[in-house]
Amino acid sequence: MAGTAPAPAPAGPDPTDLAIIETLRANGRANNQQVADMLGLTATTVSTRIRRMEDANQLRVVAVSDFSAHGFNVLLRISVSVDGRPASDVAHELAALPEVVAAHLVTGGYDIDMLVALHDFDDLSEFLLDKLSGVHGIRTLTPAIVVDIIKYQFDVAPIEGKA
């Protein structure tokens, strides 16, 4: 029986891939030759490995800036309980709001947890009362104002959201 074998699933990053990732974390502006020089590799090897990791959705090189650099001075964590509608549908609708920077389906006392960035406290009542009240299925909201960020660091993050 002739046929082609299915392509193997992409393997996770090996030690060389991890070294490339760590180098880019330290200096995301480093070009392939600079990364290669730091790791004792060739620029072609670095380029090929970065492209392979990107194609496998294991790596995405991005720029990150601070919330306040974009004028967001208020961060909220909002826990949401849902009733009468699938929590995943409500979460997708909430995630579409531009103020929502993260939305998660969770277990425990709530169905959804989200992080919201607002420009200032004047935006708070409009967001809570006008925007969220238009989302069908929300039973309760428990907002908490972030008063200090102790740690906000992601060494790994989801590259592709679920469809």
Q: What is the DSSP letter of 118?
A: E
Domain locations in the chain as residue ranges: 15-55, 67-145
The answer to whether 99 touches 118, Cβ cutoff 8 Å, is yes
Check if CATH label 1.10.10.10 holds for domain 15-55.
yes
Percent of the chain with pLDDT over 90: 61
Residue 163 has pLDDT above 50, yes or no: no
CA 151 to chain centre: 15
pLDDT value at residue 81: 97
Q: pTM score, two decimals? A: 0.69
Element (H, E) at 90: helix 87-95
Predicted confidence at residue 5, as pLDDT, reads 55
Q: How confident is the model at residue 149 (pLDDT cuts 50, 70, 90)?
A: confident
pLDDT higher for 162 or 60? 60
pLDDT the model gives residue 157: 64
> What value does the mean pLDDT of the chain take?
87
Tens of pLDDT, residues 101-118: 999 999 999 999 999 999
Residues 145 and 74: their CA atoms lie apart, in Å, by 7
DSSP class of residue 119? S
Output the pLDDT for position 108: 93
Q: pLDDT class for 46, splitting at 50, 70, 90?
A: very high
Query: Residue 95: how many CB atoms within 10 A of its CB?
Result: 15
Domain 67-145: CATH class, spelled out:
alpha beta
**Partners of 77 in beta bridges:** 115, 144
Q: Which helix (H) or strand (E) holds 23?
A: helix 15-26
Tell the residue number behind the tokens 């809570």, with chain if given. Answer: 128
